[in-house]
Amino acid sequence: MKTKLLSDTPEEIGLAAALIRDGRLAAFPTETVYGLGADARREDAVRAIFAAKGRPADNPLIVHISDMEMLPAIASEVPETALRLAKAFWPGPLTMVLPKRDCIPAVTSGGLDTVGIRMPAHPAALQLIAKSGCPIAAPSANRSGSPSPTTAAHVMEDMDGRIDAVIDGGLCEGGVESTVICFDDADTIHILRPGLISEEDLAPYASRVYVDDAVFRQIAADAKVASPGMKYKHYAPKARMIPVDAPDFDCFAAYVRDHAEQNTFCLLFDSDPEIEGIPSMRYGDSGREQAHFLFLRFRELDAAGAGKVYVRMPKKSGADLSVHNRLMRAAGFEVITL
């Protein structure tokens, strides 16, 4: 199959929409990362997503909508809290898991009777969904296990020849995938995957908001979890990522100097000085900057031939938790604590 690289003009988005209507696969930019889209209601099209990614069949897909009228067509119950969250955060990087209607087949929902739904805040994504006239199932457009793509070139690196088209919308602003939540009851928000919409952002909308345990530790492959995606190794570059929890930069630098081998790199904050003799890349100081750059740097570290990469630890609070979680998962939850 030849993968078409499309621009984000209305005409070319129209070509991608025609492919989706035809049951084919088209990758597209969102404000988080690039998604690999297909008609969420078509089993054959959704199966092709799993095949192109090499994704485990029990890892459900998020379904993307472009207006609120599409929500009751795919969710059988929409609690009041969900409506208030949609009003506050959509279009935006928030996915809500709700009971699904029959038009969403089991292959899309990983066999669950719920479906994750979000309205993305990217004009090309919204146009693609509207022009396709269907809810679009879209996981990140990478091969399963590798870092999520934040440019069309990264999508091509993983998917060239496996999918029908990619819409090039430049570099994604957000950089990490959406916050995924479900409702334990009408007034309890359960964060299944952290994203740029944080626990603090959600706090005004329910009497209790909490983060799932699987965000902080490795879950056994056979464990029963609220969000199947959390148990798979994920987001990892080929280089070995080693987060170092150090009280300050000098401790970090001393540790790295003692343990550096050939091809050892560092991933530093922008405000850190250089460590002489050890090549480094930088991924920002704030959580938002780090989210924007993390997956980009993962791919650049691989391109540079990095072996071991010592990483300055992101914070664990607010939107920064999304970066912390992706890094911990890339590292298999192994951290050096000094």
User: Interface residues with ligand AMP (CB under 6 A)?
Assistant: 59-62, 97, 109, 112, 114-116, 139-140, 177, 180, 192-193, 227-230
Angle, CA 197 vertex, CA 158 and CA 49 arms, to 5°: 30
CB of 333 to ligand AMP, least distance (A): 16
Interacting span for Mg ion (CB under 5 A) from 139-147, 203-211, 269-277, 319-327: 139-147
Q: Which amino acid is at 194?
A: P
Q: What does 253 interact with, of Mg ion, ligand AMP, none (CB < 5 to 8 A by kind)?
A: none
Q: Is 227 in the site for Mg ion (CB under 5 A)?
A: no
Distance CA 252, CA 337 (A): 10
Q: What does 61 interact with, of ligand AMP, Mg ion, none (CB < 5 to 8 A by kind)?
A: ligand AMP
Interacting span for Mg ion (CB under 5 A) from 82-90, 137-145, 274-282, 287-295: 137-145
Q: What does 91 interact with, of Mg ion, ligand AMP, none (CB < 5 to 8 A by kind)?
A: none
Measure the N-to-C terminal CA separation of the chain; round to a whole number of Å. 50
Q: Which amino acid is at 183?
A: F
**Closer residue to Mg ion in complex, CB, 191/275:** 191
**Closer residue to Mg ion in complex, CB, 31/275:** 31
CB of 336 to ligand AMP, least distance (A): 27
One DSSP character per residue, 286-318 reads SHHHHHHHHHHHHHHHHHTT-SEEEEEPPPSST
Helix, strand or coil, per DSSP, at residue 3 = coil
Joined together, the tokens standing for residue 209 give 């908001």
Q: Are 233 and 241 in contact (CB under 8 A)?
A: no
Q: What does 193 interact with, of Mg ion, ligand AMP, none (CB < 5 to 8 A by kind)?
A: ligand AMP
Q: Is 140 in the site for Mg ion (CB under 5 A)?
A: yes
Q: What does 215 interact with, of ligand AMP, Mg ion, none (CB < 5 to 8 A by kind)?
A: none
**Closer residue to ligand AMP in complex, CB, 116/149:** 116
Task: Write out the E strands in the chain.
Answer: 4-7, 26-28, 35-39, 62-64, 94-99, 114-118, 136-137, 165-168, 179-185, 188-193, 208-211, 240-245, 265-268, 280-282, 308-312, 336-337
Residues with Cβ within 8 Å of residue 158, at least 6 apart in sequence: 141, 142, 143, 146, 149
**Closer residue to ligand AMP in complex, CB, 36/124:** 36
**Closer residue to Mg ion in complex, CB, 3/148:** 148
Contacting positions for Mg ion (CB under 5 A):
140
